Each structure stands twice: as C-alpha cells, then as structure tokens.
Homo-oligomer: A and B are copies of this chain.
Amino acid sequence: MPDAQLTSALSHFSTHFNGYIDDLMACLKIPSISALPAHQSDMVNCANHLASHITAIGLKNVQLLNHNDHPSMVYADYIVDSKKPTLLFYGHYDVQPVDPLDKWESPPFEPEIRHDAIYARGASDNKGMFYAQLKALESYLKTSGTLPINVKVIIEGEEEVGSKGLVSGLTKFKDLLKHDALVVSDSPMFSESQASICTGFRGLIYLECHVNAMNHDVHSGQMGGGVPNVIHYCSQCIASMKDPKTNIILIPGFYDDVLAHPPFNATEPVALAHLSQLDDHYRLSDHANNAFFDNIWYRPTLDCNGISSGYINEGSKTVIPNTAMFKLSCRLVPNQDPKTIIQLVSGYIQDFFPSSFNVRVTSLGPLAKAAHVDEKNPYIQAAIQSLETTHKMPILCHGEGGSVPILAEFQDQFNTPLVLIGLNAPNDNIHAPNERFRVSHYKNAIETYIRYLYQIDHSQLNQ
C-alpha cells in the first residue's frame, strides 16, 4: 500500500475526529454491565449496536458469535490478501458495575467531556480503547476503500466476569479467529505522559491451605507446651518458602524452568520517577531498589494473600487453635507451567507438616500462564515505530506483573505474538467512579493504530 493511503487515512481521521468522539459516546450510552442480570437486554443492544456500526465502517463478514448461553461476541474481518499478515484486534464491550453511584460527577451512562477527557463508564475500559482500533480501520476504509493488511476483530461481552464464553469457545472458533498477531486494546500507558508498550504479563496460580493439627482447640494453660501449635507450624512453613527481604523463593526446584530475561534498569529516569512515586504512596521500604521492576515484571513470586487461625477478635482468649488457613498465590514467568508449580508448592506444603496433621491444599484457579514477546519481534518493532511517530518520544517497553487469563488462553491456543500498546492513563479510574479517557489519548490511540497497519505492511513481515 502506498504512502498516499496512509496520508489520506490520517487526514480523514484528523478532519473526522469529532465524529469519532460522537460515535464512541453513542456506544458509551448503552449500560452493558455484564455482572448484573438486569442489564441483559443492554448487553444484547450493545452487541447489535456494534454489529451495525462495524458494518457501516465497512468491515466484512460481520456476525454475532454465540456459544452456549454466553453473551454474543461481535466478529468481523477484512481480508485483503491471504499472503499478508493477519492481525486479530481484541476488545470487550461489557463494562463494570457503577457503584458507588453517588461518587460520579456526571451520570456514568451520560458521557460528558470536561477537562479534555470523556467521562463515562467504559470510556477507557474498554469501549474507548477498542473504538480507537475501529476508527483506525474506518479511516482507511473510508478513504482507500481497503486496508493495508488483513484484520479480524473480536469484541467479547464477558471480560469483566471471566471471559467464560470466549475461553470455552476458543476451540470452536479457532479457524475463524486464526491470526498472526493478537492486538489487544486493553492496556494502559506506563504513565500519563510516557508512551509505552507492554511486552508480557505473568502467570498465576492460587492455593488455599487448611492445616489441622489436633482434633480440638485446647486451653493454652492446661495444655500449652505439650501440644502442637498450628500457628507456629504454619509460620515455620511459610517462613521456609520465601525470604521476605529479597522475595526469593526457597522451595527447591521453583526456578528450574525460569529463563533468563533482559534486566530492566530501574535507574532510567522515567522508571526512577515512577518507583519514587510508588515508594511515596505505598512505603516500600528496602524493596524500592534497582531490581524493583525486574522483580515485579520478570521474576516469579510466592505471596501469602491471607492467613487466619485462632482467636482474632478483641481482647484475650487463652486458646491454642487446632486449625489454620492460609491463601497463597504465585505469579509465574514464561516457561513455568502452572500445573507443575501447583504440584511443586502443594507437595512442599503437604510434606512440611508432621504426618499426624491433616493438610488440605486446594487450587482456587484460574490458572494462567505467563506470556512474553521479545522487543525485537517485528510486530513489537512496528508498534514501537508507530508509537514513536505519533508521540514523538522514545517508547518504553515494560512488563506487567499481573495476569490476563483470557490472553493466556489465546497464547495456549494460537501461540502468536501479543501486541499490547498502552492507550489510556493508569489514573483513568477504570472499575471506579468517574472513569475517563483523555481526548488526546483517544486521538493518539487512533493515530497509532493507523500507523501500525501501515508499519506492518512495510515491515519485514510483508517482504
């Protein structure tokens, strides 16, 4: 595709941007809250609205994918040449509930622009962000009548409630969704002003452990010193699994499958500023060190998330409890298999306690594998190029410490590169009152995606 088509697309986008805002606002008016059964018809309306809009944009093969009783997924594609790369654009049209309603400065489903931001539930997460993808496509289709490369679009309606329809339908729709790279419109910039791309996320396992040391609680005076105290045993077990100062995991074999990764230097000014902000906010103690970003993005963790045993209400009760419960999760890195780690950690805990104890370790799920795309991957390089041209600044490649089960499922099925371009700001109040999407971020997102389609067409991928 010649440069003129890029120029036309950018120019059309530029002159029609106000209309692109209106189109987004029309969708933001539909209260498509997937968690609340009362909004089931709004979910249907939203899917239909999107199908019409995508048809109007000029995408082909528009359809509502249905799987069991799950909300429809909106699908469309535009195939220009089977020899060219195919991107799968992912987004979701369902939104979070809105309580507490009284904290909203304007009604959540009456989108309003103030202070150069669009305020509404879904403004960022995820309607604003996937509309940026759609509007990039529209800018080409309305000018050149075609796209530089092949594009498929899938917009699901259950991301906020676990993506069960998409996960369980991935096999069924595998041929339809076949692609070369998955372009996800659901991740934030590193900071409000730092354009960035996320090159991976960590996996997850979550265990609940119940330890029973005796048949009954006992009186700490009558029996203390002659009975096993389950809190002390559990403390010893937990203490033996990790050094809290370094967060290094001490379970033999835990790191066996961990691959080397390029270290991220926390002394880069943008990282340093962010770390210092986090430290101010959270008080991270000695943990706010040069290894901080390595530790939260590229290294696995083991963290107790909760513990409970014995008497925890006001005052004193002289009891030695017979049971304890603790919850424990691990963030995993690429090449670590969640099931293997569950077996390793469960086995370690089971073996730790005396044989007279009853120990029950349960996986609470969902399991998620980690994913990582190399910065040198051409799909990432094209994204970096597009971002640099749009934002006119060096682009930060960063990891994400959290886990994204639906993307892990895509990885499992397709094993294609993930492209997670940061679109909104970390402080855009997603899942909270006064969710917003800055107008400038919406604009930059559309421009980036327009350039991205062009970059892919002009990269080594298309030689």
Contact = CB atoms under 8 A, between A and B. Distances in A.
Contact of A239 (B235, B282, B296, B403): B235
B315 A285 contact: no
A303 B201 CA distance: 41
Interface string A236-256: 111110101101000000000
Interface in A308-336: 308-312, 315-322, 324-327, 329, 331
Contacts of A309: 304, 306-307
Given A285-B213, A305-B320, A310-B307, A244 B229 contact: yes
A441 interface: no
B299 A318 contact: no
A220 B204 CA distance: 10
Contact of A401 (B221, B288, B299): B221
Contacts of A231: 238, 303-307, 326
A226 B287 contact: yes
A283 B233 CA distance: 16
B235 A296 contact: no
A68 interface: no
A303 B296 CA distance: 35
Given A232-B304, A304-B231, A304-B310, A354 B320 contact: no
Interface string A33-45: 0000000000000
Scoring A247, A293, A365 by chain B CB atoms within 10 A of each residue's CB, the highest score goes to A247
B228 A292 contact: no
Contacts of A219: 401-402
22 contacts: A202-B221, A204-B318, A222-B401, A222-B402, A224-B301, A227-B282, A228-B244, A228-B285, A228-B286, A232-B242, A232-B303, A235-B237, A235-B307, A283-B356, A286-B354, A304-B309, A305-B317, A307-B312, A308-B312, A310-B327, A315-B364, A318-B402
Interface of A: 201-202, 204, 206, 208, 213-216, 218-229, 231-240, 242, 244-245, 247, 278, 281-288, 292-293, 295-296, 299-301, 303-312, 315-322, 324-327, 329, 331, 354, 356-357, 364-365, 400-403
